[in-house]
Structure 1
Amino acid sequence: MKNDTIAAIATAMSPSGIGIIRISGDDALEVIDRIYRGKNKDKKISDCHTHTIHYGYIYDGDEKIDEVMVLLMKAPNTYTREDTVEIDCHGGVYVMKRVLETVIKNGARPAEPGEFTKRAFLNGRIDLSQAESVIDVINSKNDFALKSSLSQLSGTVLNSIKEIRGELLHEIAFIESALDDPEHISLEGYPQKLYAIVDNKCREIDSLLKSSDNGRILKEGINTVILGKPNAGKSSLLNVLVGTDRAIVTDIAGTTRDVLEEQINLGGITLNLVDTAGIRNTEDVVEKIGVKKAMEHAGEADLVIYVIDASVPLDESDFEIMDFIKNKHAIILLNKSDLSTVVDEPEVRKYVDKTILSISARENSGIKELEDTIKDMFFKGQVSFNDEIYITNIRHKNLLADAANSLKLVMNSINDDMPEDFYSIDLMSAYESLGLIIGESVEDDLMDEIFSKFCMGK
């Protein structure tokens, strides 16, 4: 039930200096009164001022469990807008479990994953987009993802969506009023006015949608596939970028037969690196499978890094790869610059027009130029956070697309001189799609799916 008092360990279940047990609900103060003892034994902790910290002990009956600090926060100025208590105990796994067991024994129940944030949403403290940004903050992999999630947590997406919905609702109300009272409210010339308004809202939504590609990349990382012939130096490059010997490197062609995946932070952005089997014609059944998987990964990648062994002439396999990357984001690396080379940039440009860099994976040269090129390719040389709103959630992106499609139907109806009641149907559809983003209209199963992804205690 919504008003049940819930409790959970809010810190990691591993030995640490401190552990936090969080309690929230109507009976949170009664629960802490039953198990906490401070210096002033005659005064209940629930009688103390809100947002205060108290030193004492947690007892299970007459048994002392741990020495603690207790944070007392009374509704409504709390994360959940309910009475909330946080017990700071020692961070041993066993002692945290004992404190939680004592809390549950005295009137609370175990919280479900994300239930504290779910209550914050249900009690109106945050909207659904802000709730989803909480888990994004926790799962942030780089500085930008963190700043973008914090921005959404502060309500940037909410404010933008509410503004668009407010204007759509105004037009829906006007149309309905005019249809109900045509004698006093005229719709003459209104379709042209509405067209301009809807066209402007479409542009605003399209602007948000355009941010979703960069938002997804900056949140989840650039899916990067390293491609090339056997023994070109792909695995050596992976090891250099990762900073450890992640891939086996030998002089034997075809050593890598399966894909290897690693994630690195590259100056504030995340690269999801995939090292693949060398591309060549082969009769080896296992190697054939590896080559097929390599091309499948490359086909889905945001970026392909094509490694050429510059110490040997180009052959048919190189030409096949160059043809494959013509319409993809790709960087070509002329590897083994520390050796006598027979392949240079002008020769490669005869077949494909891409950024070409000379590197030596063995001697770790040219790697900085590669990093700068990737930043320039995706972010115009800089990875910085400004006031622009980035859509990083695929659910939000899909609902924005639905809203944009509905608004385009309104514009089509105006162009086709359809009756005004057709306008309000599609305007309402766009209004409802946008409402699903911020949780103005949300079904229980969607809510359960969203909050089930949260960690326990949040």
Structure 2
Amino acid sequence: MIPSILSKDTIVALATAAGHGAIAIIRLSGPEAISILHGVFKGKNLQNQPSHTLHFGTIRDGEKILDEVVVSLFKAPSSYTKEDVVEVSCHGSPYITEQLLKLFLKKGARLAEPGEFTKRAFLNGQFDLAQAEAVADLIASDSALTHQVAMKQMRGGFSQEIKALRAQLIHFASMIELELDFSEEDVEFADRAALHRLIATLQRLISDLLQSFEMGNVLKNGVPTVIAGKPNAGKSTLLNALLNEEKAIVSDIPGTTRDVIEDEANIGGIRFRFIDTAGLRETLDKVEAIGVARTKEQLRKAALVLYLFDLSSTSPAQLQEELKTLDLPQVPYLLLGNKKDLATLQQLEAFSGFENLVVLSAGTKDGMEELQQTLLEQVNANEAITGDRTIVTNLRHFQSLKKTDDALQEVIQGLDSGLTSDWLAADIRRCLFYLGEITGEITTDDLLDNIFTKFCIGK
């Protein structure tokens, strides 16, 4: 359990986005939060009011009324930070919020550092470090799935799994540590066979979490999806159809797209980063050649490739030859037969034997729903949408889990080779250390600074 850290100073910050708006909220937290506001508030005596209450009044600087406000009162420990917290809802004028902030600073508060409210909540034991990081993910969520994953982590789903793993290891660690106290008597308190089974189980669980990071990274950062193909295959038309806007210039002139055009679209809760590229062909045009080189570079970095070809002017043999010369990297790809509205029935049937093929017309948007469903299947989105699986989205968590997995493997090797209790204990302590890094049971000031400085100031 993380000990409570009672702060001596009171912090203040704007908790809503800067700029004009109907209302703005200024948040104060710390031992003097209520008394600072009480000193400038004209209304009820805030120091005598119960927690979780709202109070209307005015904020005054001397005799000057700065604004009419509603004050939300949260008394320790029943608040976000477990300190006294007040939130001032004022009119959303940048001038008003500036004047109120200056007044609170003059009365003894200091400006909060980025993420300091959440950092105080963590230090005071409101939640663990993984949950605190999920707060930032929740704020940044821009789809149903990223919201769902962040909400589950913020409510402790991921943390509970890590703590359960750690608790099982702690039991065996204590037994092995006990053996060290009786080393001269050559006794074993920890059942080596049971420990071996436990480590194998933990490895399977951690392996599942590590594998989930690929999905988590997709959910958090979007799927880099490259649209490639010969000139005039309809790549720019497809991009526009996927984005539902005229993002790229469409022309019958080959080589119109000479640079990478990128934009995002949310499909079924997954964010796809679609990248329209220059048509793949040999060219003497220096500018177009640069575009083709950039296309090949994007293909190497893609998580998914959509290879577009014209059904009405391409034969199966030509497509096979294109794919050979393309030399697609080892990433999933879909073949998109475009311009089905211009193709004959015979031409359509000629491609029936191709796998991973979606037939569509980007111009008329016929087949777009099938394409979207196929895209979701390619990134295994169905499992993330319907399952209760824990998804790792944080690179720091992934790295700590990987170190844990490596340390567990050393424990297995030690058990197999008959390693003595002191060496086994050291390896298990390493596992506990890396798992503790995730939830913040093991932490450093540098780690906390690195995490919380990425938060917005008012959070």
Q: Is 1:25 the equivalent of 2:30?
A: yes
User: Any idea what SS the aligned residue of 2:390 has?
Assistant: coil
Partner residue in 1 for 2:444: 443
TM-score normalised by the chain length of structure 1: 0.93
Closer, same or farther: CA 442–451 of 1 in aligned 2, 3 Å: same
Give, in whole Å, the separation in 2 of the partners of 1:102 and 1:35: 9
Cα distance, 1:447 vs structure 2: 1.0
How far is 1:424 from its partner?
A: 1.3
Distance of 1:208 and 1:126 partners within structure 2: 21
| Cα displacement (A) at 1:184 | 6.5
Q: 1:4 aligned to 2:9?
A: yes
Q: SS at the partner of 2:71? A: strand
TM-score (norm 2): 0.93
Write the distance in 1 (CA, Å) between the matches of 2:14 and 2:305.
43
> Which residue is equivalent to 2:172?
171
CA contact (8 A) 2:340 2:348 kept: no
* Structure 1 residues 436 and 345: alpha-carbon distance in aligned structure 2, compared to 1, 3 A threshold: farther
For the 8 Å contact 2:7–2:31, the answer to whether it is kept is no
Question: Identity across aligned pairs (percent)?
Answer: 40
Whether the 8 Å contact between 1:269 and 1:383 is mirrored in structure 2 is: no
Aligned twin of 1:162: 163
Deviation at 1:204, TM superposition (A): 1.4
Q: Match of 2:327?
A: 324
Using the TM superposition, give the Cα deviation of residue 346 of structure 1 relative to its aligned residue in structure 2, in angstroms.
4.3
C-alpha distance in 2 between matches for 1:367 and 1:2: 56
Who is 2:206 aligned against? 205
| d(CA) in 1 for partners of 2:383, 2:431 | 35
Q: Offset at 1:450?
A: 0.9
1:335 matched residue in structure 2: 338
Maintained 8 Å contact 2:175/2:190: no
Residue 363 to residue 68, structure 1, CA distance change in 2 (3 Å): same
CA distance in 2, matches of 1:222, 1:456: 29
SS in 2 for 1:279: coil
Q: Which amino acid aligns with 1:153?
A: M
Match of 2:3 in 1: none
Structure 1 gaps of 5+ residues are none
1:221 equivalent in alignment to 2:222: yes
In angstroms, what is the RMSD of aligned CA positions? 2.1
Distance 1:273 1:3, change over 3 A: farther
1:78 maps to what in 2? 79
Secondary structure of the residue that 2:175 maps to in structure 1?
helix
Contact kept, 8 Å, 2:179 with 2:187, in 1: the verdict is yes
Q: What is the distance in 1 between the residues matched to 2:157 and 2:189?
A: 37
Change (3 A) 1:319 1:171: same
* 1:168–1:257 CA distance, 2 compared to 1 (3 A): same
- Segments of structure 2 that go 5 or more residues without pairing to the other structure are 1-5
Deviation at 1:245, TM superposition (A): 0.4
What's the offset of the Cα at 1:300?
2.0
Cross-structure match for 1:412? 413
Count matched residues.
451
- Quote the Cα distance in structure 2 between the aligned partners of 1:73 and 1:157: 28
- Distance in 2, matches of 1:11 and 1:144, equals 24
- Amino acid in the other structure paired with 2:100: V
| Alignment of 1:279 onto 2:280 | yes
Contact 1:6 1:111 in 2 (8 A): yes
- Residue identity opposite 1:49 in structure 2: P
Once residues 148 and 195 of structure 1 are traced to their aligned partners in structure 2, the CA distance between those partners, rounded to angstroms, is 32
Supply the distance in 2 between the matched residues of 1:328 and 1:87 (Cα, whole angstroms).
Answer: 52
C-alpha distance in 1 between matches for 2:386 and 2:221: 16
Task: Describe the superposition over 1:424-452 as per-residue Cα deviations: whole angstroms up to 9, x where unpaired.
Answer: 11111111011111111111112111111
